[in-house]
């Protein structure tokens, strides 16, 4: 996993130094990918996230993770900012 992460960092660094084209979208994609891979394969994150790895013939490998306990996240980022809200199962799939 460290090799993949280092390769992604190399790709990001190369894209950041290119001046002939604005690679900001690509840089954001690779930074997000590196962050998601690190979170997915981090052994310590098993206490925080539910992780799902699936394969689809059309789309290939799919990494998904969601918070194991979304209550703290919702308290910090949603409920304190609103007077009221309705939570659905879609809300809990952050």
Q: How far, in Å, CA of 11 to CA of 13, rounded? A: 5
At 26-39, the pLDDT tens digits run: 888 888 888 878 87
Is the pLDDT higher at 33 or at 5?
A: 33
Give the pLDDT confidence score for residue 93 in this predicted structure.
Answer: 52
CA atoms within 13 A on the CB side of 73: 11
pLDDT band at 58 (very low <50, low <70, confident <90, very high): confident
Give the pLDDT confidence score for residue 92 in this predicted structure.
Answer: 57
- The rounded mean pLDDT for the chain is 79
At 72-84, the pLDDT tens digits run: 777 777 766 767 7
pLDDT higher than threshold 60 for residue 94: no
Q: How far, in Å, CA of 82 to CA of 7, rounded? A: 42
Write down the residue that tokens 């609103």 correspond to.
82
């Amino acid at each position: 996993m460290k090799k993949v992460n280092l390769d992604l960092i190399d790709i990001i660094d190369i894209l950041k130094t290119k001046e002939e084209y604005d690679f900001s979208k690509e840089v954001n994609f690779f930074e997000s990918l590196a962050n998601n891979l690190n979170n997915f394969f981090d052994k310590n994150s098993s206490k925080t996230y539910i992780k799902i790895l699936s394969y689809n013939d059309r789309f290939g490998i799919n990494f998904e993770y969601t918070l194991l306990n979304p209550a703290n996240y919702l308290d910090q980022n949603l409920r304190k900012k609103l007077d009221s809200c309705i939570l659905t199962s879609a809300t809990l799939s952050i």
